[in-house]
Amino acid sequence: MSRAATDAAAAREAFAAWVEEAGEGGRVFGQVLVRAPEPGLFSLRHVEEAGASGLKLHEDPREAREISKTTEGGEYRPLKSSPNLRRGWELRVSGAGDLLVAMNYLYPAGVVHWHLHREGRLEVTSYRENAARQSGIYKRVQRLSDGGVQDTARACCEDAVCLKKTLWDVDEDTPLGMDRGDGEVPCPEPCSVFVSLARRVRLFEREKKRDLDAIGLSPSEKEDLAALVEAAATGHVEFAREAEFEKPLNERRMRYRRLTLAPKLRPGA
Amino acid sequence: MRALIIVGHGSHLNEDSSLPVYEHAERIRLTGEFDEVVECFWKEEPSMRHVLDTVESDEVFVVPAFISEGYFTQQVIPRELGLEGPVTVKGDKTVRYAGPLGTFEGMPDVILERVEDLMRGRETRGRTSLVLLGHGTDLNKNSGGVIYLNAARIRERGLYDEVGVGFLDQEPEIGGVVENADADDVILIPVFIAEGWHTRETIPEDLGLTGEVTHLDGKRVFYGAPVGTHPSMANLIVARARETEPGRETQVV
């Protein structure tokens, strides 16, 4: 057995054992409550439905993919660690192998990273290392300022929007200043959703240098404010899709604006 | 143990892009040829960057679910997976990297199966033109090249009065393919991996298509589903993987 093969296989066994050791209460991984009602038998459900009855029962671990694909409102979930896992289901599987299959659809690669992190062997890649690899339309993220990385991480990675525990830093000398989260699922490297938001924030940084108006607002800041006002005036703010960062009413984009635009609008607040 | 990793583009916005990868993976899983069949993506999870962490096998086959040789197959996928060439040894894992699907010699057969699906219960009349629709880009000649390659391979079989090509982002443009076809019946097959914005919206809008059959300029136009979602693509993925094994280079489909 190779070292890497051992890692994936060992993670499978370690995770099953971790759940079994927990007794009746089970373990929480992301938003999933995993319990072992008897050895080798696993029951998974949304953590907020620990005592619920009448849940839709699934017994094929690969049905976890459908469960994790859309929110309760039917919206596509590009990031499985977003705190928007739908409720109303129970998945019963037998054996550590099927448990891992299910977990890998609910939190892709989450179990093996959890295992490696517990053993102190998870390789972590900083933002700057990740950015250095980027090419094509993402190459520009190499020029994102340290402050821009910090604000993007706060906007994109805090528990309000992503339940992974952020392990990476801006670079080896510059730690992230955000609350990294308390969950069990480690995040060893900026993900593609993060890089996509970072690209958008870099576009904002560039315009700030050249296009500020008399009161210091950039064109995209004004666009976002106008979109917000117009939407709110209808009584119903419809948000853009989760990773649709080019649209003003995107939650993570708004979280970034809260960090960077709100202080400009309320100086001294 | 042997693992097959299928690499898809994926999407941050909708599920259409990755769906064929999941479906082909499931079909291949059922054959039992591989101990593990795993999906990974550029824009979805698991990322290419982390997929090898999840694999237990020591023999790993990586097949890109991409049509053409280009930016993704030559640059992004090898970089993200840490591949050094056709064969990369990573620890005790031997990772074999296959070519894209569109350039494979079995591709014309899948395209013709798509035509068959579309034309089942329908008869062509008069001169018939098959037109392969691709994305194309002026930035990389391989993108359009793979469409020309498949058109040439099908042309050699002499099944249609003419076999043409049309592109979204290079000449000849899709908007002109029906008008320029010297035929009574025109069969359009999108050579794309997944259903999506282009196959559902851009192409039908460019041509004024209203469904599977549209009457345009006195011609009957048949519009098929994308080649990449055809179940036979699963066989192509497996054949691409097998081809990378030493001594099996010639034993494809």
Question: What is the fold of A127-265?
Answer: Alpha-Beta Plaits (3.30.70)
Instruction: Quick: pLDDT tens for B36-79.
Output: 999 999 999 999 999 999 999 999 999 999 999 989 999 999 99
Q: Specify the pLDDT at position A2.
A: 44
Is domain B2-102+230-243 in CATH 3.40.50.300, yes or no?
no
pLDDT at residue B80, as a whole number? 98
- Residue A90 C-alpha, separation from nearest chain B C-alpha, in angstroms: 22
- Do the beta carbons of residue A74 and residue A40 sit within 8 Å? no
Q: What is the pLDDT of residue A254?
A: 98
Q: How far apart are CA A142 and CA A130, in angstroms?
A: 9
Q: What is the pLDDT of residue B247?
A: 72
CATH 3.30.70.2320 domain range(s) in chain A: 127-265
Q: Which residue is associated with the tokens 């870099």?
A: A202
Q: Among the listed ranges A260-269, B117-126, B142-151, B191-200, which one has the minimum average pLDDT value?
A: A260-269
Identify all chain A residues contacting B91, using CB atoms and an 8 Å cutoff. Answer: 2-4
Instruction: Return d(Cα B99, Cα B153) in angstroms, integer.
Output: 18
Fold of the domain built from segment(s) A3-118: Gyrase A; domain 2 (3.30.1360)
Measured between beta carbons, the chain A residues lying within 8 angstroms of B55 are: 4-5, 8
- In degrees and rounded to multiples of 5, residue A23 shows phi and psi of 75, -155
B107-228 belongs to which CATH class?
alpha beta
Domain segments of chain B as ranges = 2-102+230-243, 107-228
Q: Over the stretch B152-172, which tens digit does the pLDDT of each residue have?
A: 999 999 999 999 999 999 999
| Residue B249 pLDDT | 52
| Residue ranges matching CATH 3.30.1360.190 in chain A | 3-118
Residue B250, pLDDT score: 47
Q: Which residues in chain A are contacts of B58 at CB distance < 8 A?
A: 1-2, 5
Do the chains contact at B56 and A196, CB–CB below 8 Å?
A: no
List CB contacts (< 8 A) between B42 and chain A.
Answer: 192
pLDDT in tens, A186-235: 999 999 999 999 999 999 999 977 788 888 899 999 999 999 999 999 99
Q: How far apart are CA A91 and CA A102, in angstroms?
A: 8
Contact (CB<8Å) B54/A243: no
- Judge if B2-102+230-243 and B107-228 fold alike in CATH terms: yes
Distance from CA of B169 to the nearest CA of A (A): 17
3-class DSSP string for B55-123: CCCCEEEEEECCCCCCHHHHHHHHHHHCCCCCEEEECCEEEEECCCCCCCCCHHHHHHHHHHHHHCCCC
Question: What is the per-residue pLDDT across A141-178, written as a single tens digit (0 to 9) for each?
Answer: 999 999 999 999 999 999 999 999 999 999 999 999 99
The residue among B1, B7, B12 with the most chain A CBs within 10 A of its CB, best to mutate, is B12
Does B217 reach chain A within 8 Å, measured CB to CB? no
Instruction: Work out whether the CA dihedral A230, B201, B234, B139 comes out positive or negative.
Output: negative
Q: Which of A8, A80, A192 shows the shortest C-beta gap to B55?
A: A8
